[in-house]
Structure 1
Amino acid sequence: MSATTHTLVVEVDEEYGARFPDLEAAMKWRVECSDSNSCEGFMECREVHEVGKWRETAEGPYECDEDCPWYDQEEFWFHGVLHTWHSGYAWTVPYDGCPVQASVAEPPGEAYPLLVGRYEVEPDWDDEFCYVTLTSAGEAQLSKARGAA
């Protein structure tokens, strides 16, 4: 297991405050990664995948013709890059960077109301999306922030 950690960073949104000075302060958030080079993920490759007379179609390695070079192969080299077949994503390549940082759509529900601070989170993937949940350290950090507020 990687030693990479992810942190939910909550800050006052100064730009929003300048545009709407009469409103309550708004918060903005982001996820930071301690080492994006060690986070593993994949993304769909949108390049053409062909070898000789064979051109890849959506059925992948299990539904293609048995004479096809990638028949029954979950990994295959296309255009000089090792690809992995992921059902629902087709042929994929390694994600460059932190997929958690790039994919999280919202902060964890238990973090509301958002308070300025840094809270350790862990990724929770479903088939399509990445969510984050507070770790026990993140929960302690949030409790401390709520006590100070």
Structure 2
Amino acid sequence: MHIWREALDVSHILVISLDRDTQARLDAGEYVFPEDAESHEHSIVCPYTGGCGGWIGGQQPHEVDGKSASCGPEDCICDDGQPSCLGEDGGEHPPWYDQEDFEFHGVMHTWRHGHGWTVPYDGCIVRYNSSYDLPYEYDELPLGEHEVDAEWDDTGCTLVLVPEAAKQTRVLNPQV
């Protein structure tokens, strides 16, 4: 399943805390090393109450009358010997032909090259995307809240620590 976020430019908060076992040991009076990254867990806080939104690729098949639309609305690269799912040259085209937006199984989908048919996601797409890469400084970060930007590319999401200077600029001149 492809998970993606629109080009919404907003920071999230990476919360680093002790994992449950280490916190329980600390609560029991045992001495722990809070700087040990192996004893940390993390979570993401989204600045929007309802989530920052985005889009995902669904797991349901995309077809009409039993004919697959998985090749998309423009190009078809079908297995050898299989007829094109977009119809033959000069023949009748399927209803999704040349349509970037099309309704499958009662839901409007948008074709995104490299990702297939996608649907809007209304929650926090960063938090939903559990395969994000943590900032490379993660092991050195202290417990607490750290402002991060989510940078998306064709393969996924990387969380990048927001520099102190950028944080001050955002406070003085909010972008969101």
Q: Does 1:117 align with 2:144?
A: yes
TM-score normalized by the length of structure 1: 0.75
Q: 2:97 maps to which residue?
A: 71
The structure where helix makes up a greater share of residues is 1
Q: 1:60 maps to which residue?
A: 72
Match of 2:17 among 11, 21, 25: 11
Match of 1:95 among 104, 110, 121: 121
Q: What is the Cα deviation at residue 100 of structure 1?
A: 0.8
Percent identity between matched residues is 37
Deviating more after overlay: 2-11 vs 115-124: 2-11
Q: Which consecutive aligned stretches of 4+ in structure 1 deviate over 6 angstroms post-superposition? A: 138-141
Q: For the residues of structure 2 that align with 1:49 and 1:58, how far apart are their CA atoms?
A: 6
Q: For the residues of structure 2 that align with 1:40 and 1:96, how far apart are their CA atoms?
A: 5
Q: What is the Cα deviation at residue 27 of structure 1?
A: 1.5
**CA displacement, residues 1-59 of structure 1 (integer Å, 9 cap, x when unaligned):** 8585310111122424547x6874412111110116352321112223333x4622421
SS at match of 1:48: coil
Q: For the residues of structure 1 that align with 2:137 and 2:165, how far apart are their CA atoms?
A: 10
| CA spacing shift, 1:125–1:36, aligned 2, 3 Å | farther
Larger radius of gyration: 2
Q: Do the aligned partners of 1:36 and 1:98 also contact (CA within 8 Å) in 2?
A: no
Unaligned runs of 5+ in 2: 1-6, 77-85, 169-176
Q: How many residues align?
A: 140
SS at match of 2:134: coil
TM-score normalized by the length of structure 2: 0.65
| CA spacing shift, 1:67–1:36, aligned 2, 3 Å | farther
